[in-house]
Amino acid sequence: MPPPFLRPTTMHVQRPASTSLIVRNTVLGPRVAGALLVITGAILFGVSGGSTHRILGVLVGTACLGIAFLLWRGNTAHLITLDRRAGRALVRTQHLLATSSIEHRLSDVADVVVERSPLANGRDLFRPAFVMRNGTHQGWGAYAFDHARRDQVAVVLAMREFLGTASSPTAPDGSVAFPRPKTDPVGWAAMPPQQRRIATIMLGFTFVVSTLLFAGGSWLTWQQHRMLSAYLPVSAVVQSTDVMATRDDKGQLLERPSVRYTYTVGGHAFANDVVTPLAERRTGKWARSIAQSYHSGIAVTAYYDPVNPQHAYLQRTWTVLPWILMAGSALFFGIAVVVSKARSE
């Protein structure tokens, strides 16, 4: 089984009282991704108010919130309640824009089983189902492919104990309570234990990477917002211009515009060469074009940190790097969810 935070769905039982039992069937992966997108959208809304890219920030933030809503509401979830006092078995299903309910009289429910439904390609689908006294089955919950999940079996066993039928291997209509799959296990269940552990570690690593990317993007977004909103303007004079070049781990040339300028704050003279708030480096001609737009001796406006005046920059512009990092985190997490789902089927 994939780790809990990457399972497509999960079922668990609650017993608020001796006369009732509640089962929650929840989609985890897309909801966690939706929560991350909500945070991303909120951050983008919060930091884009006074920036030069306000419209872009609002549009991206709105898109994040919209996708988060679809992820949160578009994945069907179930809430099943067995209540002896009310004498009912209630199945509530959450859809994209509404919630539907199906109510059965508890006296009409003869048993609960893991129902197997064969597919045309030879594979099997498994999901819990009520066995009604008229011989029909009322299925609920998310399907599992080729083998019943452990949480499905645990939930059905708990419901059978609640109904008093746990000791019987079959339901009154002859249905096997926990049928064995006709096909061999596939995906995650078919993997050898050592390979499954390695795959779990890799998925966990992907989750950690996505979390770090999101945290880094959020921190850079906040830092950029603080520098654009809190730094104060001051007159400065350009002393010299240059381009600082470095190479990354792959040997790719990255350049940063270096414009040396001086300014005075509170009677103290300072010098700096940072042009953009995050002192970013890029490939291509970007750094050289910026450096060539300044000339020695011209007057410019710099923006300094009132808490620490030696920190300053020249251009009040946003960079999309933090947003790329947050988008990358969503991509990594999406890959983890898709791979986990593929492994479990």
In a domain, 324, yes or no: no
Q: DSSP class of residue 188?
A: G
Residue 50 has what pLDDT? 41
The residues with which 304 forms a beta bridge, in sequence order, are: 232, 312
Instruction: Convert 6-32 to b/e letters by CB count within 10 Å (16 or more is b).
Output: bbbbbbebeeeeeeebbbbbbbbbbbb
Residue 6 has what pLDDT? 39
In a domain, 57, yes or no: yes
Give, in order, the Cα–Cα distances in Å from 323 to each of 162, 179, 330. 50, 49, 11
| 111 and 242 part of one domain | no
Rounded CA-CA distance 312/291 in Å is 17
Q: Which residue has the tokens 């009289």?
A: 105
Residue 52 has what pLDDT? 42
| 178 and 68 part of one domain | yes
Span 161-176, mean pLDDT? 92
Burial class (CB in 10 A: 0-12, 13-18, 19+), 246: exposed
In a domain, 340, yes or no: no
Give the DSSP H or E segment for 58: helix 54-73
Instruction: Convert 205-225 to b/e letters by CB count within 10 Å (16 or more is b).
Output: ebbebbeebbebbbebbeebb
Length of the chain measured in residues = 345
> What total of structural domains would you count in the chain?
2
Give the CB-side neighbour count of residue 279, counting CA atoms within 13 A. Answer: 11
| 237 and 158 part of one domain | no
Rounded CA-CA distance 62/44 in Å is 9
Structure token pair of residue 120: 């045309």
| 46 and 164 part of one domain | yes
In a domain, 280, yes or no: yes
| 42 and 143 part of one domain | yes
In a domain, 328, yes or no: no
Percent of the chain having pLDDT more than 90? 34
Rounded CA-CA distance 56/15 in Å is 48
Confidence grade of residue 222 (pLDDT, cut at 50, 70, 90)? confident
Span 27-43, mean pLDDT? 62
Residue 1 has what pLDDT? 41
Is the pLDDT at 297 greater than 80? The verdict is yes
Find, among 140, 108, 126, 141, the residue nearest to 175 by Cα. 126
| 58 and 169 part of one domain | yes
In a domain, 8, yes or no: yes
| 8 and 125 part of one domain | yes
Phi-psi domain of 299 (left: phi exceeds 0; alpha: psi -120 through 50; beta: other): beta
In a domain, 162, yes or no: yes
Structural domain including 74 reads 4-183
Total-model pTM: 0.50
| 175 and 282 part of one domain | no
Is the pLDDT at 104 greater than 80? The verdict is yes
- Per DSSP, the residues of 110-135 read EEEEEEEEE-TTS-EEEEEEEEETTS
**Contact call for residues 304 and 312 (beta carbons, < 8 A):** yes
Structure token pair of residue 216: 């880094």
In a domain, 337, yes or no: no
Is the pLDDT at 60 greater than 80? The verdict is no
Residue 341 has what pLDDT? 56
